[in-house]
Amino acid sequence: MTANLLNFDAKGLTDFCIEIGEKPFRAKQLLRWIHQSSAIDFVSMSDLARSLRDKLTDLAVIEAPQVISDHVASDGTRKWLLSVGTENAIETVFIPEVSRGTLCVSSQVGCALACTFCSTGKQGFNRNLTVAEIIGQLWIANKLLREDLRQVSNDSPDSARLVSNVVMMGMGEPLANFENVVMALDLMLDDHAYGLSRRRVTVSTSGLVPAMDRLRERCPVALAVSLHASNDALRDHLVPINKKYPIQELLAACRRYLAVAPRDFVTFEYVMLDGVNDTALHARELIQLVRDTPCKFNLIPFNSFHGSGYKRSTSENIRIFRDILMQAGYVVTVRKTRGDDIAAACGQLAGQVKDKTRRTTTINMQIQ
């Protein structure tokens, strides 16, 4: 059986090289070819011995998810639909800006946490993504963006860092696929692979407290938490995992995480839902809630999808909410909606999920 080398981090690739009778240093060469040069065949790896290239051709592959569709929004946001087999597909989004390029990466086919305002959650859940399917999203983005750059520029695209930031904010709950996500994070940070700074890689979680503690010990990158409510009663409804890990437990985990985090604050994400969580009272309650937790806020205007049952807060309510938080001394950003004309905005990613939870059947009955 052939091995997909995209499934291996540095240690795994070293072990593979030893297993096939090669020196451990070959792993670093392979990492550079695979992740920095986006190589797809072994014949082109010119600094490897011919005998090794032949051996790899027989024993290994470099296989990322297949691109089903590639859409570019009016604002330049780009969304790829990627096949991960058995009628399932995931979505990956690239958001270009003047000073950076951010890739939003998926970690699961669907999501089991069922946050009520999220399109992915409405699709149900099928399975965790493999390491190859997670890091393959970054591999594909780099490869396709470089190919585009070659067509319009004489500069060397192979040395260009088109993806400068990665956010684990696509489909799925990253910490529910802990081991595979951490191996992919290790590759993102590895200087022989993508060489990203810990400050430029963000894991977003709905609040799986034990896994947050494990991430702190294994791979402390920047942390974002999907808070979305100012009290437990409301969060129990919007983010059902709160019933297992209520807000005070979540905040305590955030404070523990900050002891080793690359940033000295946690980013709290807060979707703005009209008449649900967006009043001045909610804002003041939020201030009291997080007073002992160093943080900033990212307010996210709700992006609608079929059957959501929610509406976006008015611009005026978002402004008032933001100003109350800022007057209390917090850094607050209001996320600019990007890619909503191709359903690539926050909360809109759905992909194609062959649901194993029967949640989609229940939802469809409710909508009818």
How far apart are the two ends of the chain, measured CA to CA in Å? Answer: 47
**In whole angstroms, what is the distance from residue 69 CA to residue 91 CA?**
10
Measured torsion, CA atoms of residues 269, 80, 114, 227, in degrees rounded to the nearest 10: 0
Residue 129: alpha-carbon gap to chain centroid: 12
Q: What are phi and psi of 146, to 5 degrees?
A: -65, -40
Locus of tokens 């943080």 = 295
User: What is the Cα–Cα distance from 148 to 88, expressed in whole angstroms?
Assistant: 27
CA distances from 52 to 7, 10, 18, 35 (A): 19, 18, 12, 19
Considering 91, 133, 173, 269, which one is annotated as catalytic? 91
Catalytic (active site) residue 91: yes
User: Are 117 and 313 within 8 A, CB to CB?
Assistant: no
Looking only at the bridges linking them, the beta strands covering 125-128 and 108-110 are: antiparallel
Catalytic (active site) residue 63: no
Give the active site residue among 17, 111, 219, 346. Answer: 346
Burial (CB < 10 A; 0-12, 13-18, 19+), residue 364, is exposed
Catalytic residue set: 91, 346
